[in-house]
Every structure is written in structure tokens, then in C-alpha cells.
Amino acid sequence: MKTLITPYIDVTINALWSDWQNYPQGRPNPLYSQEAIDWNVDGLILAFITLSPSKKPCWAAQDAMPLDWALPLANDLYSAGRKVIVSFGGASNNDISMALSVEELIATYQETIDRYHASGLDFDLENGLYNIKSICEALKVIQQRNPDISLSFTLPTLPSGLTGTGLNIVQQAIAANLRFVINGMAMDYYDPNYKDHMGRAATEAATSINNQLASLGVKGGYQCVAVTPMIGLNDDLSIFTLDDANTVAAFAKMNDVAFIGMWDFNRDNPSSYGYVDLTTSSNPEQTHSGQYSMCLVSHARS
């Protein structure tokens, strides 16, 4: 099976508010669906559905961005034959599992699959603000009802592999008899040994995750592993370069890794900023928009 290239996109960045006649609540910027087509990625992972102040599933925990808010972007992608994966959680807000019952989670996940034509659900669990037991109980029902849906758990990783917290999530998913992919967040190591070797660090992380899954009895090899680097400047001031992207894509192709994510699609634009920017890579070596996406695509498929 080929390795899919499915970058993450923060659907709230550069949101379009001016077309009030057609979208009175705003919508994700249609620029991104066109770029997904132009740059030939397999799809996008839409981030993040979280718990709003009124205890509802909303984008970026904003009641003004309810569950259906990102549908225009998803519909554009689906119409163009691109995959739509919807991600819950993230670094900043409470996951919906902190307030919703298992039955409410099942209903929300099913509505998301149906309304978004989603081929997958992703769970970015990195801040402790989630209830993994409830998530897995709900997903057991969802996977029985939707046998073709892909499930991924996106977890912090080091080159040496998942942390104890991440391994506990894996064990809970195994106990629920889920079929899943573990997606390692290959970024922000704060380790000087990897500052100039971020591509190697990402491939080591994927290898370590594969070994950890095998030791827990998960069958499927690298088809149960994915990797998501943070392109350009990372928070620890290391830089994931275009050469690093080549390294990761070649590794993924050679080992049949399930998918390469990317944090994130909004940032695949050049700049020379000395800080992590929401809409550029802050990598002065990047010369044009989409260079990371197209690099991953070309090397994973060549």
C-alpha cells in the first residue's frame, strides 16, 4: 500500500468572514482546498474539534464554530477526490470526551463521519485533557458500524518512541479491539543531538514506535505507524528542512508507513522569520509555497 500524504490543517487560520451572504458564520478559506489539489496531496486532516464553553463539540473550542462549520472545506476536498480526516483534541483545549458520555461521543463521531464524508478520525492526545477510556469505548462501536473507517491516535514521541502515557493509550486501544494507526508527533524534542538531524529523528521515532507496537502484539508492521513532522522552524528552534522531508518520505515509502502528516498545511509558505509563524515555515531555504507538501508527495511516490 502506498504511503498517504495527509497534512494537518488548522481550519480556523485565515478563515473567510467576508462572504456573509453565503456563509454568515464564516468558513475555512477555500484557498486551502485548491492548494490541496494543486500540490497533489492525498487529503487533509482537519484540526481540531474540541469542547466549547457550552460543552459542545466545536472547532477550536469556539461556540461560533460548531461541528458543521468546516463542511465547506470538506465538501471541496471530497468533490475533488481528496480524503477528509477529522481530528479531535490537540494541544490547547479540552477534548469532548471530558464532558460527553460514551453515547454522546458515539453520536458525535458518527455525525462527523456522515456529514464530512470522513475516511478517518484522528485523536490528537497530547495534553492530558481527554478521557481515553470513553474514547475507546465509543470507537469500538464506531468501528463495528463503520468497518472501513480509519482510526489514528496522534501522540507525542521521541526518537526512542512513545512515552509511558502514549503506551497506555495504545494498550487501551488494544483492549478495545480497535484497528488503529499510531501517528508519532516528530517535533519539538528539545534535544541538541537532533537539532540538525530532524529527518533522522523522525525516522528513528517511526522505527521505535513500530518496535513498541510489535512488543505489544500489534500486527501489521509499519502499516500501523504514521509520522507527523513540524515543517520548518520548531518550537525548540530546530528546523525540519526540505532535505529532512526527503529523508522521511523515502523512509515512509520503503517501509510502507501508513501516512505522513505535517504540521501544518497552513505553514507551507516561505519566510525568514526567527519565530514559529502560523502561516509560514520560517525556513529561509524554502523558496515557494507548497514546497514541503510537493516534496513529500514526490519522494513518497517516486
What would the pLDDT profile of 84-128 be if each residue is shown by its tens digit? 999 999 999 999 999 999 999 999 999 999 999 999 999 999 999
Phi, psi at 34, each rounded to 5°: -70, -40
Write down all domains in the chain, each with its CATH number in brackets.
4-301 (3.20.20.80)
DSSP state, 89? E
Computed over every residue of the chain, the mean pLDDT equals 97
Distance separating alpha carbons of residues 63 and 77, to the nearest angstrom: 24
State the average pLDDT over residues 286-297: 98
Average pLDDT over residues 221-237: 98
Question: CA 263 to CA 234: how far, in whole Å?
Answer: 10
Q: Is the predicted pLDDT of residue 1 greater than 80, yes or no?
A: no
Q: Report residue 195's pLDDT band, with 50, 70 and 90 as the boundaries.
A: confident
Give the span between the Cα atoms of 16 and 27, in whole angstroms: 5
pLDDT band at residue 20 using 50, 70 and 90 as cut-offs: confident
- Mean pLDDT of the 48-57 span: 98
Q: Which of 115-124, 205-214, 281-290, 293-302 has the lowest mean pLDDT?
A: 293-302
Q: Given a cut of 80, is residue 45 above it in pLDDT?
A: yes
Q: pLDDT tens-digit profile of 153-169?
A: 999 999 999 999 999 99
Residues 6+ apart with CB under 8 A from 254: none
